[in-house]
Structure 1
Amino acid sequence: MHWSLDVTFGDDDSRVRKDNGPQNFARIKRLALSIVANASGKESMAVKRLKACASDERRELIIREFLQL
C-alpha cells in the first residue's frame, strides 16, 4: 500500500504535518486509491487518475463503478 500511495500520489513528498492533517489525508488518499484500483480498464493507476482529472464523464463513471449504482 505504501508503494502505491507514494508512486500514485507522491506521498513521501507530502508537506501535510500539522495536527490531524496527516491522518485525514492518508484516509482520503487510501479511499481514492481504492476507487481508482477498482475502476475498469487495463491502464495503470496513474493513467486512470489522469483520465479522471481530464474528463468529468470518466470521473463520474469511475465513481459510479465504485458505488455500483
Structure 2
Amino acid sequence: MDLKRYTHVDAGDVRSLLLYIHDDVYADDPDALHSRERCSYFVDVLLLEVPDIERRNRIRKSYSSYIARILASFSA
C-alpha cells in the first residue's frame, strides 16, 4: 500500500472527495444526523486551521468516528 501525504494545498480536493463519498454512502438516508451540511461542517473544521486549538480538538474527537464510518461504508 502506498501512503500519500496531503498538505493545505490539497484541502479543496480532499474536501471534494470526502463529500463525494458521503453523498454516495448516505444518498438515501433521510436521517439529519447524516446530512451533507453536517458532514461538510466537520470536513471544513478538519481541513481548515481553527485558531482555538482546544475547540478544534474537541470537534475532531467528536466527529472522527462519524467520518470513519463514512469511509468504512464506502470501502465495504
**TM-score > 0.5 by shorter chain:** no
TM range (shorter): 0.3 to 0.5
TM-score normalized by the length of structure 2: 0.41
Q: Which has the higher contact order (CA 8 A, sep 6+)?
A: 2
